[in-house]
Structures are given as C-alpha cells and as structure tokens.
Amino acid sequence: MTLRRLTYAIALAIWIPATATAATYETTNFIVEAPTPELARKFGDMAEFYRKEKALEWLGREMPQWPRKCPLQVQITMGSAGGATTFTFGSENGRPVVTSQRMEIRGEAKQLLNSVLPHEVTHTVLAYHFGRPVPRWADEGGSVLSENEEECFNHDVRCRELLNAGRGIVLRTLFRMVEYPRDMIVLYAQGYSITHFLVKKGGDGREGRGRLLQFLAIGMQGNDPRSHGTLETWNEACRRVYGFESVDALEEAWLTSLKTPPSRTAARNSGTGNSTKPTPGPSFATSPTAASRTELRTSAAPAIPLLEPPVKAARAAAPDFEPTRPLTSGTNPISMPVSRPMAPDRPPPVLLPPEIPRPIK
C-alpha cells in the first residue's frame, strides 16, 4: 500500500464484483483470478518473477516451491490502488512457519504491476524468513522499498512532512509495535524512511537487507505476543548490527540524516526521476502438516487519513495507546489489548521542509 491509497480494509467491503466471470491462471506457486485470461497470465507470470527476484534481493537465494499455491485475486479498478496479504503462522518440528497465505490486490493495472504486486510479494519474503509476524514498521517499510521510485520518493517526502507536523513515533515505541498505530499513515512513511536508512547504513543492496534481517531477528526476540521484543533486545540489536549504543542513538542518527534532502530530489528536478520498473519478491514455505497453533496476520490496514500540507514546526510524539491485536481462537478471531510503556517525550531536531520538485520551465 502507498500513502495515497485509501484503506484496503474498507475497500474489501466493496470487492464483491463479478468474480464469477473471472479468468483463472495457475503458476508454480500462485492461483490467479483476474478479469481476463490475458491479465491472469500477466499477473501470474509477474508474481513468479517478483517472488524470485525479491527472494534473491533479501535472502540471497530463491524460495523453495510452496506446498500449497497462494491464491492471488486481481481486480482492475479506477482510482486508488491497494493490496493485502493474509498469513496464518504456526509451527512445524519446533520451528515457526507460514501455514497459509492469500493475496488480494485492487487498482489500475499498471500501478498494480509496478508497485502493489512487488510490495505484497515482499511481505511473503519476510514472512517466510521469520515464520512469524514481522514488526509493522519493517514489514511495510521493507515492502515499500520494492515499489517504484515515484512511490519511494513520495514516502520520503511524507516522512519529513509528518515529523515536522509532530506526528512521528519515537523508535523505542515504534520498533515494538505489533499492530498499526492510530496515526497509521505515519507507520508507512516513517517505516520506509527508517528501513531505507538502515539498509543504506548496512551497506545497501543485498548486504544492507541482510543486515536489516539480522537486526530484526535480534530485536524481535521474546515470546510476549503483546510486543515485538523489548527495549533491551532492540538496544542489543543496535549495538551488534549497526554499532549504535542504543535505539535512541540510532534515532538521533536517522533524524540527522533527514536534515539533508534526498539526492533523488535533485534528480527529479532535472527531469531524470522517472518511475522505475518494479522488482519481484518471494514468499514463504507453507505446510499442511504444521502444528495446530496458528496466528493470523494481514497486511490490510485501517483507514488512511488525508495528508495535510507540509508544516515547519518539529516535534515527535508517541501514540497514547495501540489498538487491539487480532489473534485466533479456533476459527474465530479474538482481540487482546496491546499495551506497553511509552517512550520519553523527546522532540527531535527541526527538519528541513521537504523539497518538492518544481516543474521544469
């Protein structure tokens, strides 16, 4: 999903159109439903392409074939685009695994192929690697890295806007959040910005992504379903992977990096910042013989508010509380309150206003 898209959760309520006449196309790992045979084949082939490419980008190897094919529903519509991938997690032979998955995307065909599909496929790579839900900031931030240059640029600009508007979330809170915060739009923009910063800090490319996975593995340690890790585990991850003494030190370095507008801004001003071709992503191995313990996770997000114009006052703020986290009991979803101590109220440095390119005369 991108910051311009309306909530996928709401969109699902109006997704009942004519699937009876949809065409079906099967690939090695996907069962695709789309309005026409041509579109079904195109999306199926591109899903396989992204599955391979994103696995190589993040893991350095291709994914094994899934025991069960992933349903992929494609709906072509006008207006905002979005997607959601739903996973069921369980365990097999004592290790966490993905036991089922389903992907649904909706919007204009070009946007789906260039941004939404690689974004959703990247969710499957991260899910396969960890076999458990990934912190939302990293799950969405890492997936936005797979979108085209235009979308990444927009997220970068929005992050500066939101931080300057006092809508940021301090990292010691953001890193441990299990579900979307009330100000969900912040998670997408800030998650992308931090993920991009850490990948670059780790060496960029495959090396940078690999170090980010190491960082997440250390930070996520712990079995408390109400949070991803503890402040101590994230501090340890900062020290071991990036050489920062703490999450707070990492946050300071990240905010300092934002004081310099991105280089791609200048490229867009010179007319060279055209959108790029999307990249592909992998998925996760599923197992019908996995243990009965399951946990449901979906990338469908709550409502996204409209964006305000950029402002110049800067102040970070952590949310007062987090929403409930969906779990499962048998086949019925249940809710469990999520609560944890909030980080100190520390305003970050004032950031430069985002540089939005002006049309070339």
Kindly give the pairing relationship between strand 70-76 and strand 95-107: parallel
Res 355: pLDDT: 42
The sign of the CA dihedral 202, 208, 209, 214 is: negative
Give me the DSSP letters along 48-91: HHHHHHHHHHHHSSPPPPPSSPEEEEEEE-SS--EEEEEEEEEE
Res 323: pLDDT: 37
Is the per-residue pLDDT at 236 higher than 50? yes
Residue 269 Cα distances to 149, 178, 262, 265, angstroms: 14, 38, 12, 6
pLDDT tens for 173-199 read: 999 998 888 888 899 999 999 999 999
Q: What are 220's two structure tokens?
A: 């996520």
Provide the H-helix boundaries in the chain: 8-12, 37-59, 109-111, 117-130, 136-144, 149-164, 171-174, 184-201, 205-219, 231-237, 247-257, 263-269
Is the per-residue pLDDT at 254 higher than 90? yes
Instruction: Give percent of the chain above pLDDT 70.
Output: 66
Instruction: Give percent of the chain above pLDDT 90.
Output: 50
Query: pLDDT confidence of 92, banded at 50, 70, 90?
Result: confident
Is the per-residue pLDDT at 361 higher than 80? no
CA distance 104 to 213: 26
Res 296: pLDDT: 53
Kindly give the pairing relationship between strand 82-92 and strand 295-298: antiparallel
Is the per-residue pLDDT at 341 higher than 90? no
Query: pLDDT confidence of 262, banded at 50, 70, 90?
Result: low
Residue spans of the domains in the chain: they are: 8-303+311-336
- Which residues, including other chains, have CB under 8 Å from residue 16's CB and lie 6 or more apart? none
Provide the H-helix boundaries in 238-332: 247-257, 263-269
Res 284: pLDDT: 29
Query: pLDDT confidence of 273, banded at 50, 70, 90?
Result: very low
Find the distance separating the first CA and the last CA of the chain, reported in whole Å: 33
Res 124: pLDDT: 96
What does the mean pLDDT of the chain come to? Answer: 75
CA distance 126 to 140: 10
Burial profile 291-300: b = 16 or more Cβ within 10 angstroms, e = fewer:
eeebbebbbb
Is the per-residue pLDDT at 278 higher than 90? no
CA distance 116 to 109: 10
Q: Within a 10 A sphere around the Cβ of 149, how many other Cβ atoms? A: 16
Name the more confident of 48 and 146: 48
Name the more confident of 183 and 46: 46
Query: pLDDT confidence of 227, banded at 50, 70, 90?
Result: confident
pLDDT tens for 56-79 read: 999 999 999 998 999 999 999 998
Q: Flag whether the pTM goes above 0.75.
A: no
Res 333: pLDDT: 36
Q: Which of 214, 212, 190 is nearest to 199 (CA)?
A: 212
Res 59: pLDDT: 96
Is the per-residue pLDDT at 3 higher than 70? no
Query: pLDDT confidence of 263, banded at 50, 70, 90?
Result: low
Query: pLDDT confidence of 297, banded at 50, 70, 90?
Result: low
Name the more confident of 184 and 45: 45
